[in-house]
Amino acid sequence: MLHKTRGIVFKFFRYRDTSIIVKILTERLGVQTYVVNGVRSKNAKIKIALFQPLTLLDLVVYYKENAEMHRIAEVRCTEPYLSMPYNVVKSSIGVFLAEVLYKSIKEEGEITDLFDFIHDSMMVFDHLETGFENFHLQFMLKLTRYLGFGMENIFADKVPGSENTIVRLLKSPYDGQVTLTNGERREALDSIIRFYTSHIDSFGELRSLRVLQEVL
């Protein structure tokens, strides 16, 4: 059966000589796995650039219940990023968040609220000109509401001081100016990652963390 849906790319893996297997969060079907044949060949009709992490897509896809992998009938990029691919800090944050999402979200089925949150957050991030060094912290904090273990009350109760770093980040919008030292930013991220790890059994180690730390 064919379905039309929006999608957000999480990750792709090389498959055979010229193909890939790609994990995509779809608005109508949740997280799905697709085989895209020939995308790595010289004369590919579908370009592999469409499957870079966090690319926003319009899709027409085949779906068969209980199948492990599906196929894509049509695909196009809906809203190309203007700055994220070309700014080393933004691109590093993007790769890191794509891995966080890949490890955090496994649900199938319609997930409009979660999809809209991620989509709208990425568009805001792409348009931020300054003050985006804390975006990954704010995004991960806000994401916990949709994952079922919101951090707001927990951190406000357990961390001394009403204006501790986590609470300040939680209270601030993406374009709010929360000034942090590199040490404060790293300590906050370590706390958030520990929180994710304690609530998601399969979360594990984040391979992109080291690159992000070096860039920031």
pLDDT in tens, 44-96: 888 999 999 999 999 999 999 889 999 999 999 999 999 999 999 999 999 99
- Quote the CA–CA distance of 180 and 42 in Å, as a whole number: 46
pLDDT in tens, 188-206: 999 999 999 999 998 999 9
Ramachandran category for residue 43: left, alpha or beta (phi over 0 → left; psi -120 to 50 → alpha)? alpha
For residue 88, count other CB atoms closer than 10 A to its CB.
Answer: 8
**Banded pLDDT at 156 (limits 50, 70, 90):** low
- DSSP at 48: G
Between the CA atoms of 22, 194, 142 and 119, what dihedral angle is there, to the nearest 10 degrees? -10
- Quote the CA–CA distance of 117 and 6 in Å, as a whole number: 13
CB 211 within 8 A of CB 95: yes
**Token code pair at residue 93:** 């944050």
Distances 216 to 99, 111, 168, 206 between C-alpha atoms, Å: 17, 32, 19, 16
| Percent of the chain residues topping a pLDDT of 70 | 94
**Token code pair at residue 36:** 């895209």
- Residue 3: the pLDDT is 95
Residue 161 clears pLDDT 50, i.e. is over it: no
Amino acid at 164: N
**Banded pLDDT at 162 (limits 50, 70, 90):** very low
Averaged pLDDT for residues 121-130: 96
**Banded pLDDT at 6 (limits 50, 70, 90):** very high
CB 142 within 8 A of CB 111: no
For residue 53, count other CB atoms closer than 10 A to its CB.
Answer: 21
- Residue 155: the pLDDT is 59
- Residue 59: the pLDDT is 97
CB 76 within 8 A of CB 16: no
**All domains of the chain in start order, with CATH:** 2-77 (2.40.50.140), 84-215 (1.20.1440)
Mean pLDDT taken over the chain: 91
